[in-house]
Structure 1
Amino acid sequence: MSQQQPSQLVWLFFRSSGRLSRAAYFLGGLLVAIVQAFPLYRFTLVPEGTPESETWAMVFFLAFVASLWSNIALAIKRLHDLGRPGMMALVLFVPVISIIAFLALCLFPGDPGPNRYGARTNAPG
């Protein structure tokens, strides 16, 4: 594995600069949801109050915190691709509107050429 791949994954999930395509946003969001759902699933399989349940609860909490920031970072980069400011990502925390915002980010095409947030899609700005 080259040094380039880990830094690209860190950029994709934890940095807010640059632009992101519809497909990358959707697939990144799907991976984040799976990472968050797996510990929750494992937690539901173990008896309540056991050390194993406490471990899976902690793993879920850590995955939730990491996935929260990852979802924000993905949305900011997707908004940048649309030529919009990243602060609009806060809409993802408003119930009902968040579903509409997610669908809009998945469906609307980004700017075809360079914009103020980056020269090209799927790259840091």
Structure 2
Amino acid sequence: MLDALNYYFEQRKFTRFWFSFGGRISRLSFLLGLLGLIVAFGFFTVVIIPILHSIYPVLVLLIYPFLAALLWSTVTLKIKRWHDMDRSGFHVLLSLIPVIGAIFFFLILIIPGTFGKNRYG
């Protein structure tokens, strides 16, 4: 019974980290999360897509839900990082502006989060 509860709470932490907009994450968690997303994207584009394409080209369409999940996870990580700096998650929209987006990306890597509790957790 205890193992089942531990598994349940670990699964909730996993899904909350990758798919939830709530809460905040540190710079290190953000970097590790982005590294994981880059590895997953590379794996899909270098390994999975060529295999599926060689079997039957239409099977490549099965990858789109996974790529959408990777994009969603990237947005949630950025929002949580803004929350850690006690800023609104709408700052993620600034990353859509070409030059300003790169500047803001480096800012969320450099600026430390607020100490203690803030509006977002």
Q: Structure 1 length normalisation: TM-score?
A: 0.80
The percentage of counterpart residues that share the same residue type is 29
The match for 1:103 is: 106
How far off is 1:59 after superposition? 4.4
Bigger proportion of residues as helix: 2
Q: Is 1:94 aligned to 2:92, yes or no? A: no
Alpha-carbon distance in 2 for matches of 1:11, 1:43: 26
The match for 2:82 is: 79
2:49/2:63 contact within 8 Å kept: no
Higher relative contact order (CA 8 A, sep 6+): 1
How far off is 1:6 after superposition? 1.0
Pairwise CA RMSD of aligned residues?
2.1
Give 2:12's match in structure 1, choosing from 7, 28, 36: 7
Q: What number of residue pairs does the alignment pair up?
A: 116
Deviations 1:52-79 (A, max 9, x none): 4443x33432222001111111111110
- For structure 2, the 5+ residue unaligned runs are 1-5
Alpha-carbon distance in 2 for matches of 1:24, 1:69: 17
Amino acid of the residue matched to residue 55 of structure 2?
A: P
Alpha-carbon distance in 2 for matches of 1:35, 1:25: 15
Cα 1:44–1:111 change in 2 (3 A) is same
Moved over 3 A (4+): 43-48, 50-54
The match for 2:37 is: 32
Q: Structure 2 length normalisation: TM-score?
A: 0.82
- For structure 1, the 5+ residue unaligned runs are 119-125
